[in-house]
Structure 1
Amino acid sequence: MSPNSSPHPQHHENNPYFQQQPQHDPNYYPMHGLKVPQPRRTKPITWFTAIFCAILWMIIILGGLMVLIVYLVYRPRSPRFDISSATLNAAYIDMGYLLNADLTILANFTNPNRKIDVDFHYMVIDLYYGETQIATQAIDPFSATRAESKLLDVHMVSSQVRLPSGDSGQLKQQMEENRVVLDVRGLFRTRSNFGTIFHYSYWLYSRCTIVLNGPPTGILQSHRCRTKR
C-alpha cells in the first residue's frame, strides 16, 4: 500500500459531501450546497425608457406650472356677444309658407379682459325663426383690445325661405300681436393674446333671443343673450 493513498478510499467515494462538492466553482458554498446568482446587468433600453419617462414628467410638470402662472397673472375671461339694438324692417309671407324678411342688428362684441387682447377670426351670425334658419351673415375679422367693446351693424335678409305650416301660422299671429320672436346664433373663432409669446385659440357659441314689434316699426322690445365655449 502506498503511503500517500487513503486507507479507506471507499469511504470518500460513498460520502455525499465529497460527491456533491464542486471543485472549481467560486460561487459554491459547501455549508449550504447552493450557488449565488450572478448580478444581472440592466439593459440599455431600460435606462433609456426610465430617462425618457423622467424627462417627460418634468416637461408635463413645468408646462402645468407655466399654465397656472399665466392663469393667475392674466385671469382670462371669455369675450361676450350681445345685441344693443335691432330693427325688423320688413316681414311677410308669400303663398302661405315662404318668408321674406329684413332685419338689422347692432352687435356688441366685448373683451372683458384688462390684460389680454382678443382677435376675432372666423365669425358667422345666423338668424332663426323657431328651428328654421332664415338668414346668415359673415363678419370680417377684427381685434378687440383690453376692456374694449366693438359695435358692428349686421344686415340680415331672408328671401323665399320655406317655413313649416305651424311656424308660418305662428309668425302671422305674432306680427298681428306686435311681438315677433327671433333667435340670433353666432359662431366665432377667437384668439386670446397673452403678451407677444402666448396665444390661445378657441370657439365661442352665442345665442340671443330677441322680441321685436312687427314691421314697419320693428323696434326691439327685449332680448336675452348667452355666450359659452
Structure 2
Amino acid sequence: MATTMPKFKRKLVMGANGRTNPLVWLVAIICTIIAVAVVVVGIVVFIGYVVIHPRVPVISVTNAHLDLLRNDYAGLLQTQLTIVVTAKNGNAKAHASFSQITFNISYKGQDIAVLVADPFEVPKNSSKDLSYVVQSSSIPLTPDQMEDVSDAHKRNEIEFDFKGAARTQWRVGPLGSVKFLCRLDCGLRFQPLNGTYIPSRCTSKSH
C-alpha cells in the first residue's frame, strides 16, 4: 500500500489574526536599512577617493650624514648618523595622517637603533621632516664584520640597512577614510672620509 507523505509549506510567522507578525516586518526593515547604509557608505568612499585624485602618501630618506665611524682593535664599532625622513602628502584635496612610525637602522645584521615618532598630520600638498640623530653604543663586530669596515674605509663607501613602516590615512568626507601601509627598505650609503651621504632612491611602497 502506497503511503502518501504529508506536504509541509513554509509560511511567515503569523499573528493571531492570520497576518504577518509585525516583529518579522520590523526585522526585515532593519536589515534592509543596514544593507542600504553599507552600500551607500561604500559608494561615498569610492566616489570621494576618485574625486580627490589621490597621490599615495610616502615616506623617504631625503638627507643624511655620517657624523662618526670608529672601530678599535677589540672589534667594537661606534657610529653616529644624522638622518632626515620626509613624510609627503601629494594630495591637493585631503589632509593625511601618519601613525605607528618605526624605523630600524643596522649594519651587517647588527642593530644600531630603532627610530620612532608620534602620530602627526600633513596638510594638503605638503610635507613634514623628521630629523633623527642616531648615536650607537659600542657594537661588537665579528672578525668578518671588522674586515668589512676596514674595506669600507679603503673604498671610502659604507652602507647601512634602513627599514621601517608607517600607517597613513586620508579622510574622505564625513563617512569614510582610505588607509595605507607605507614600507621602507633600502640601504644608506656614505663616504667615511668626510661623512657625505651618497643619494639614492629610498622611498616607501604603499599597500
1:219 to 193, 196, 201: 196
Partners of 2:99 and 2:10 lie apart in 1 by 60
Higher mean Cα deviation, 51-60 or 131-140? 51-60
1:62 to 40, 43, 46: 40
Structure showing greater relative contact order (alpha-carbon pairs closer than 8 Å, 6 or more residues apart):
2
Aligned to 2:17: none
Alignment length (residue pairs):
195
TM-score by length of 2: 0.76
Partners of 2:112 and 2:158 lie apart in 1 by 14
2:12 to 32, 36, 42: 42
Q: Does 1:79 align with 2:49?
A: no
Deviations 1:163-182 (A, max 9, x none): 44433321221122101111
**Identity of matched residues, %:** 25
SS in structure 2 at match of 1:41: coil
Partners of 1:163 and 1:105 lie apart in 2 by 23
Higher mean Cα deviation, 114-123 or 91-100? 91-100
Partners of 2:53 and 2:8 lie apart in 1 by 59
Q: Which amino acid aligns with 1:209?
A: G
Cα deviation for residue 159 of structure 1 reads 0.9
Partners of 2:66 and 2:167 lie apart in 1 by 28
Cα deviation for residue 202 of structure 1 reads 4.4
Partners of 1:42 and 1:197 lie apart in 2 by 36
- Residue 87 of structure 2 contacts residue 129 of structure 2 at CA under 8 Å; is this kept in 1? yes
Partners of 1:153 and 1:40 lie apart in 2 by 70
Partners of 1:179 and 1:59 lie apart in 2 by 58
Closer, same or farther: CA 38–194 of 1 in aligned 2, 3 Å: closer
Partners of 2:175 and 2:31 lie apart in 1 by 28
Deviations 1:45-91 (A, max 9, x none): 97677656544432332232122111111233322122222111111
Q: Which amino acid aligns with 1:220?
A: Y
Partners of 2:97 and 2:84 lie apart in 1 by 19
Which has the greater radius of gyration? 1
Q: Does 1:99 align with 2:77?
A: yes
Higher mean Cα deviation, 153-162 or 189-198? 189-198
Partners of 1:187 and 1:39 lie apart in 2 by 59
What is the root-mean-square deviation of aligned Cα atoms in Å?
Answer: 3.2
Closer, same or farther: CA 48–210 of 1 in aligned 2, 3 Å: same
Aligned to 1:14: none
Partners of 2:7 and 2:170 lie apart in 1 by 62
Structure 2: gaps spanning 5 or more residues: 14-20
Cα deviation for residue 113 of structure 1 reads 0.7
Aligned to 2:16: none
Partners of 2:31 and 2:171 lie apart in 1 by 32
Partners of 1:39 and 1:141 lie apart in 2 by 60
Structure 1: gaps spanning 5 or more residues: 1-33
